[in-house]
Structure 1
């Protein structure tokens, strides 16, 4: 079981900006429509510029589609950002991300700091509870950290147990754990998954 979508599912969005935009809008990550921030009137989406522009002739103000989202204040195209984030989630070496995404080392470093901060912020939300009667919740574990140079494939960091609802909302939780045993897993489930949920996990064989 994996939380990270396969390359077969996401790869087609890495090199097609229109497809990437459509995917992000359908997933609710980027807005499909917005009222004008200046006058509250209707707007039109200008895909080529990734911006909304007010339809009113007396206003015609424009504002970025990215504003207030994960993509705010970012310079890379949407598809390339997806590609970079996907490789990071798969714990690819930085050198591979630079090569495959064709992005400079400074830019990659900046994005990785941002992504790690997002994960850190999510881990602070310890009161997150997901699931409910009849709702499927997939639970998995991963190790958040970085590979140590010249030490093979060793990864240093913290183990994280996470869960995701198989619903349109796709609500999630992620918590760091000090022990990888059955008692710890059960405590995480009791704390973050509502009673009546249907739990899917392949972690039991390792606990």
Structure 2
């Protein structure tokens, strides 16, 4: 099955020129710097801006998926209810595709997970264009191969993915704590607090 069979794919908002900060507009632009595959969208870092393009904005909503169209890694990130908590309207920068599931039997969180897995990432890599900055065309995104298991299996996979992410966060925290401890020991030794 191809992505276009289960979702609509559209381009991000066509800003004319650079995205400039414009406080007080109540509109934010989600840019590449605001998104990571593992942590999703960092709404606090999104810049308020004025919409300079002629096209009517395609406001982001929970359940939408952003797929990075440019760069060496075409990761996907889910728009969650945090958008509503941020209390602003948001558009995606033109470096993203906006993917919206059009079927009830496909959970957006599962689709994000699948798009970030090796088979899809390899497909994007093999079909990317450009020498300095790689990018994928919309037709490439539309034709991405997608597997859609039953809803129960999708929910199981989502649960597994959440557990793995939590384990990664714990492991990173343990590593960070260990590094701070070693740094503190080295400083104490240097300050001769240990009396060696």
Shorter-chain-normalised TM-score: which range? under 0.3
- TM-score, normalization: structure 2? 0.24
Q: Which has the higher contact order (CA 8 A, sep 6+)?
A: 2
Greater helix proportion:
2
